Structure 1
Amino acid sequence: MMNQTAIFVDAGFLLSLGGHRAAGTTLRSAFTTHYESLIRGIVQTVKKNTGLNNLRVYWYDASKDGLFAEQHKRIGLIPGVKVRLGRISYNGEQKGVDLRLALDLVGVARNGAASVAYLISGDDDLTEAVEEAQDLGMKVILLGISREGSRLGVASVAENLALTADAIETLPDHLLDSSFTRVLEWDRDHAEQSAAIASAGTAKRPTPVAKLVMPTPAVMAQKLQPSRLDHAEGHSEVVYSSTVERSGYQGHTAYEQKELLVAEEIGAKVAQSWLASTTQGEVLELMADRPQLPTEIDRTLLKDCAQVLGEWKTDQQSIRRTLRGSFWKYLEQLM
């Protein structure tokens, strides 16, 4: 077996975590990714940790019909990078990405092309592939993003995958800070114009633009101050808590009410980020399809909530209803 490394990157996983860190949301239009410096930094981090040369970086993403977009072509032209694409299904889910990664991981191990694999992913579905690669003599190390208060020390990694890996290491904070940049800023004029057009194009009550009362960035920042919720296991996760008085959620325990408040604030924050970059035509289309949300927005709501409350919490229907309801409620405030 060649004494060198191979790096396997689940792009959806990495971009979601990096984007959320920079912009507070996984909505891809809310941040810019500097791919060349990010990939170069990952390779340098692995080289520093192992002292070994790297075979190549395998970059896994999804696209419509599994075809290369301009972004994927750009990444594929980076020396030492192999782009592998799955496809995006009708409901916006990635298909075939995990399978491609698993097959490549096992294939590299079986061919003896690398002795150490660095895996940037958190998906539990990769556990069996990691075990197979290990049985073939390869060491598999998870390379994640650190999260204070997490029992595993990294963000959004399935426990089974973490227990199976040979070790867990983290990407440097300075690499993430330089590779992901927030690009959206709140634009009151833009939001008011979009809201006015949408209001005029629907049967909803018209509200003069001059009377719109918009939350400023300072108010939103105050509403989204981080606090801590203690988990049953005895550790804490950073979540968002509101300073605004609310009527509460009937029929829920105190802890469930806190989770619903967090979901409510995430829904509003995604709405704000989306409205900051959208066109007036897109607002009209969105309002016309109500209550149906576009796949990208719905997926962003669930991903952002998973970053704060954990993946399994987003499966709860009360959380999903609150996320979507809060998104619409935020837009209604502008009408």
Structure 2
Amino acid sequence: MAIPDLTHPGAVKYAVLVDVGYLYAAAGEVLLGAKERREYRVAADELIKTLQRHAEERLPGELLRVYWYDAARDRVPTVDQRVIAALPMVKVRLGNLNARGQQKGVDAQIRTDLEALARHRAVTDAVLVAGDEDMVPAVEAAQAYGVRVHLWGVEPPYGTNQAERLVWESDTVEVLSAEFIRPYFSRAAVIPAPPQAPSPAQVFAGRTATKPVVRPPQTGVTKLGPSRPRVEEVGEHVAQKWILTRGRDNIRDLLPGPILPTVIDTELLIEAEKELGHSLRPYPEARVWLRDGFWARVYREFDIGVGISSK
């Protein structure tokens, strides 16, 4: 197979394969001294766009897609993973996350995809963001089919965070500086300890002191829609189901709220409409009530003070 001429962009077609476990761990360590993912937040969508632009500068050709390899408990995607999966030109691949927080099956997925892309000549070049020596056989297999492999790593705080043999076998090697990735990582906000439960006297005293909320008359369209108590009930029910099926850790990623990522907000709407048996889209107030019910259940789950509304 002839080696493509990089001076002609049309001759180059590439994919970007990202081992998220390596990328996040290496970045968390050099930027924040963090050892666990829950210690920091990542603006993954912006980070992916930046990686795409960086690859375009290095490989002036056609991007096939970005492969985003991560892990989740029982392979149930987290909130962040669902948002990433909705991005254009991005394919999320999930391995399993065991009880000790260890990723299982991720390396195998990367190796399988890299070899398949090369064997079917789907790409001429592959950008690999990884550090594990287990990637070496896949790199060698891809190169045997004529694909160039460009290894990217994250600047380590000291020494190296990539296997020496993986560095040797790659066609080019680049280290992404701490400053390059810094804008996308921030320390996670600490959720305050739950306040002590108020006494009945305090609860009723607070209610007495609170002025009643005077709401404007509802329009005729809203009157034809579902009732507020019913919609809030459905919102709480969806939240309860998600806590049970997706896990408390995944729902915790939504905090502190009350704004939901667009993808998650759409999922909430769809599930609520299924339960109600009709659409809520003509009723803007009903969507607000739905979010109120959802957050009421989530805040109770994590013992966060009441009174927070999405309005």
The alignment status of 1:96 with 2:105, answered yes or no, reads yes
Aligned to 1:145: 154
Q: Deviations along 1:22-41, whole A, 9 cap, x unmatched? A: 32113222211001110011
Q: 1:6 aligns with which of 5, 15, 37?
A: 15
For 1:162 and 1:172, how far apart are their aligned partners in 2?
Answer: 17
1:68-217 correspondence runs (5 A): 68-147=77-156, 150=159, 155-184=160-189
1:267-278 correspondence runs (5 A): none
Long gaps (5+) in structure 1 = 195-276, 278-335
Q: 2:74 aligns with which of 65, 70, 75?
A: 65
SS at structure 2 position matched to 1:144: strand
For 1:5 and 1:87, how far apart are their aligned partners in 2?
Answer: 27
Aligned to 2:208: none
Long gaps (5+) in structure 2 = 2-10, 196-251, 253-311
AA in 2 matched with 1:67? V
AA in 2 matched with 1:78? L
Q: Is the radius of gyration larger for structure 1 or structure 2?
A: 2
SS at structure 1 position matched to 2:18: strand
AA in 2 matched with 1:76? A
Aligned to 2:46: 37
Q: Which runs of 4+ in 1 moved over 6 A?
A: none
1:148 is displaced (CA, Å) by 6.8
Q: CA 1:172–1:44 in 2, change beyond 3 Å: closer, same or farther?
A: farther
Aligned to 2:230: none
For 1:19 and 1:143, how far apart are their aligned partners in 2?
Answer: 16
The alignment status of 1:23 with 2:23, answered yes or no, reads no
Q: CA 1:172–1:47 in 2, change beyond 3 Å: closer, same or farther?
A: farther
For 2:104 and 2:121, how far apart are their aligned partners in 1?
Answer: 28
Aligned to 1:311: none
For 1:173 and 1:91, how far apart are their aligned partners in 2?
Answer: 28
AA in 2 matched with 1:131? E
1:186-265 correspondence runs (5 A): none
For 1:34 and 1:48, how far apart are their aligned partners in 2?
Answer: 21
Given that 1:42 and 1:171 are in contact with CA atoms closer than 8 Å, whether structure 2 keeps it comes out as no
For 1:170 and 1:159, how far apart are their aligned partners in 2?
Answer: 14
Aligned length: 187
Provide the aligned C-alpha RMSD in A. Answer: 2.3
For 1:22 and 1:123, how far apart are their aligned partners in 2?
Answer: 20
1:181 is displaced (CA, Å) by 1.2
TM-score (norm 1): 0.52
1:89 is displaced (CA, Å) by 2.4
For 1:30 and 1:69, how far apart are their aligned partners in 2?
Answer: 16
Q: CA 1:114–1:128 in 2, change beyond 3 Å: closer, same or farther?
A: same
For 2:33 and 2:22, how far apart are their aligned partners in 1?
Answer: 15
TM-score (norm 2): 0.56
Given that 1:85 and 1:97 are in contact with CA atoms closer than 8 Å, whether structure 2 keeps it comes out as yes
SS at structure 2 position matched to 1:156: coil
Q: Deviations along 1:80-123, whole A, 9 cap, x unmatched? A: 10000010124332111000110000011111111110101101
AA in 1 matched with 2:32? A
Q: CA 1:26–1:149 in 2, change beyond 3 Å: closer, same or farther?
A: closer
Q: CA 1:130–1:53 in 2, change beyond 3 Å: closer, same or farther?
A: same
AA in 1 matched with 2:79? E
SS at structure 2 position matched to 1:122: coil
- Identity, in percent, stands at 33
For 2:90 and 2:35, how far apart are their aligned partners in 1?
Answer: 24
1:70 is displaced (CA, Å) by 1.7
For 2:170 and 2:114, how far apart are their aligned partners in 1?
Answer: 13
For 1:148 and 1:66, how far apart are their aligned partners in 2?
Answer: 31
1:5 is displaced (CA, Å) by 1.1
For 1:113 and 1:172, how far apart are their aligned partners in 2?
Answer: 30
